[in-house]
A and B are shown apart, each in its own frame.
Chain A
Amino acid sequence: MEALLLQTLNGLDKGGAYALIALGLTLTFGTLGIVNFAHGALFMLGAFCAVGMNELLTISTKVKDESITFFDAYKEVPILEAKFPVIGPIIVDYSVPLAILITVPLMLLIGWVMERGLIRHFYKRTHADQILVTFGLAIVVQEIVRHYFGANPIPQLAPDVVAGSANIGSWLGMSDNVVYPWWRLIYLVFALVIIAATFAFLRFTTFGMVVRAGMQDREMVGMLGINIQRRFTIVFGLAAVCAGLAGVMYTPILPPDYHMGMDFLVLSFVVVVVGGMGSLGGAVAAGFLLGILQSFAAMNVFKTIVPGIDQIIIYLVAVVILLFRPRGLLGRKGVMDA
């Protein structure tokens, strides 16, 4: 029973990341009609925003080390801690949540630049061309990040206050030994909040209404006199922000490295296809579903029946769904059925 609960939480956690990335991907695919292979790179950029923020906050200066007395030794101390002995360490400790503050504007900017500079010219080209050019862009972004941050994963730490584990066993009436890391619970809640915010934005604002209309029939919206082009740029920025936020908060769970974009890209496409290309609810549902499936498949119970099932379960599910229900779980009939 405990194992089941833990794995469900693990699955929801991972699923949250998948759902957020897939949400951005579906937004661009449903609204703009663009297949964006650089979306994984946006996730990776978000994660590296956290790394960058950490480096920014820990710009250090040399301070005399009092503990060594026989010669003059200096140690590196972050300026924030040196100048503000009380608040400084707290700020440095909270570098990951604070990174959200720079991630949102930075990802918006990157999304805006990507859309205006490159994606805009590919609306009329075939899907294969879009795939190829965004794949190329993903490689370029990956290499630039690798050049500046190096090829090794750079672990980021969650703030100290939440670095431990929550005693969920006692909340749910189970034994006291059932624990789960606080940060992962926070991540799950965070992902749900962002997803809810995006849905609320799309449902309750005029802009959201235009975007939803554009997803249904882009040409018609243009013919009604609405400047869909500018809306597209903002939608792309929004998708980039979703991916970036997913990345930034995921850093304590998975140390960011330059290759994580490509790894998550395949999974996010599989999620989008299972959920239904163009269906936002489907993308989110499929994200959580596949996350849970992957976690359950990693349990020993299933591994003994079919060894290695955890590696391939997602792809198997994708193949089955693509063959028997090509519009995905919640896709609309007639959209990309061929």
Chain B
Amino acid sequence: MTNSSSKTSLNNFLLMLLVTGVVLAAPIIFEPFGAGYPDLLQRFAIFGIFAVGFNILFGLTGYLSFGHAAFLGVGSYTAVWSFKLLTMNVVPAIFFSVLLTGLFALIIGYISLRRSGIYFSILTLAFAQMSYNLAYSVLTPITNGETGLQLSLQDPRILDAKNIAGGLPNTNFFGYTMNQTNTYEFFGTAYQFNVGYYVCGVVLILMFYIAMRIFQSPFGMMLKAIKSNQTRMKYTGFDTRPYLIWAFVISGMYAGLAGALLSITDPLAGAERMQWTASGEVVLMTILGGVGTMIGPVLGAALIKYLENIFSAINTGELTRMLSWVPEGMQDFAVSTVGLFVGDGWHLTLGLMFMIVVVFLPGGIMEGVRRIARLFSRRKAGPVEPPRATNIATAGEGGA
């Protein structure tokens, strides 16, 4: 470690301060981008948690898993069952989701981690598809198949008071209902502060802190060592399996937590969350943001969710309005070409962005930021080898 411990703890403190500040002030910060509404902010936080957890596995150990969507699904279903059987309070839901997903991850990880590399990826892929198929058609008493698991009035919520009023109760955190939004006006713009978002945001801050501590712990260093040369580690006498299994279980629990939060903010759990292509989405987020970095995955998750919600909502009418500055003759052409990439075609933009990032900037956004910073810094001279998407962040870079 080249940094002295006090410098690292200062860096950590500043990073945590930055993250806490941005998360708490998000309804204000994101409003000018049209992204200040509760639903989107909740998704930023939830998928941020998911990506941070995935990064612990992929970024630190280099093992690419396509099965995390299954953990997301298990987390969601457990949370909804907790709402149905126990109480609408979110705390037991979160607790049981994380617990069950951790167990599930333990079983899957124990089997999958017997192989490495491409075989591991295909094993996780097989498990994800198996879970999806089971959830969709076989385990329908538990998961309700295609229609998804929903709350109903007949649920025996054992720990809750009797529901006298009609209508489904809302998820709550010791009395504060999740969908309660307070809107305040500052300088003519309305800002929405939503309880559900703040619960997700606080959880994000907490999980980010935990991930940061993991990155900088001896455990984290072992994982990075596994990524850089697993055979050598084994030769020096370390048994790598427990570390790998722990990393897998931890990242699985993060995914389960994200799934639980998804159900908390919207008490419905569907099977399509468990398809392997949903796992592909979190891989995209992590790569886009920067594998192995701390903030990267959160940035990647926020960017992709933003594009998903904002880009895909731009239909032809909006597009024509946005491109009204284009000269008359070119306007139709401009609208039809740009129209390929927005609205329904935003998946195309996503795929292209993904390819461009993997080909040219494998370190993701954080790599881009680092390169730009290097342009302005005169201290380092000479070419530096660009990191690959699957390469290790050096030991000295413990921070963002």
Determine if B388 and A262 form an interchain contact, defined as CB atoms under 8 angstroms apart: no
**Selected contact of B119 from candidates A147, A311, A336, CB within 8 Å:** A336
- Is there a chain B Cβ closer than 8 Å to A215's Cβ? no
The answer to whether residues A131 and B64 also contact, given A139-B347, A143-B345 and a CB cut-off of 8 A, is: yes
Which B residues from 343 to 393 make CB contacts under 8 A with A?
Answer: 344-345, 347-348, 350-352, 354-355, 358-359, 362, 388-390
Chain A residue numbers with a CB within 8 Å of B133 are 308, 311-312, 315
- 10 extra interchain contacts, Cβ-Cβ under 8 A, other than A273-B122, A326-B119? A35-B118, A126-B390, A129-B358, A135-B283, A139-B351, A147-B344, A308-B137, A311-B138, A336-B118, A338-B117
Q: Tell me the bound Cα distance from A144 to B115 in angstroms.
A: 36
Q: Tell me the bound Cα distance from A326 to B112 in angstroms.
A: 12
Chain B residue numbers with a CB within 8 Å of A315 are 126-127, 129-130, 133
* Chain B 133-165 per-residue mask, 1 if CB under 8 angstroms from chain A, else 0: 110111100000000000000000000000000
The answer to whether residues A262 and B354 also contact, given A125-B388, A315-B126 and a CB cut-off of 8 A, is: no
- Is there a chain A Cβ closer than 8 Å to B249's Cβ? no
- Is there a chain B Cβ closer than 8 Å to A239's Cβ? no
* Chain A 134-153 per-residue mask, 1 if CB under 8 angstroms from chain B, else 0: 01111110111001000000
Q: Tell me the bound Cα distance from A139 to B283 in angstroms.
A: 14
- Is there a chain A Cβ closer than 8 Å to B121's Cβ? yes
- Is there a chain A Cβ closer than 8 Å to B111's Cβ? yes
- Is there a chain B Cβ closer than 8 Å to A319's Cβ? yes
**Selected contact of A143 from candidates B129, B347, B389, CB within 8 Å:** B347
Most buried by A among B127, B347, B351: B351
Q: What are some 9 contacts across the A-B interface (CB < 8 A)?
A: A127-B118, A136-B351, A142-B347, A308-B134, A311-B130, A311-B136, A315-B127, A319-B127, A323-B114
Q: Tell me the bound Cα distance from A125 to B134 in angstroms.
A: 35
Chain A residue numbers with a CB within 8 Å of B137 are 308, 311
Chain B residue numbers with a CB within 8 Å of A126 are 388, 390
Which B residues from 82 to 132 make CB contacts under 8 A with A?
Answer: 111, 114-119, 121-123, 125-127, 129-130
* Chain A 302-338 per-residue mask, 1 if CB under 8 angstroms from chain B, else 0: 0000011001100110110011001000000000101
Chain A residue numbers with a CB within 8 Å of B134 are 308, 311-312
- Is there a chain B Cβ closer than 8 Å to A266's Cβ? yes
Chain B residue numbers with a CB within 8 Å of A139 are 347-348, 350-351, 354
- Is there a chain B Cβ closer than 8 Å to A133's Cβ? yes
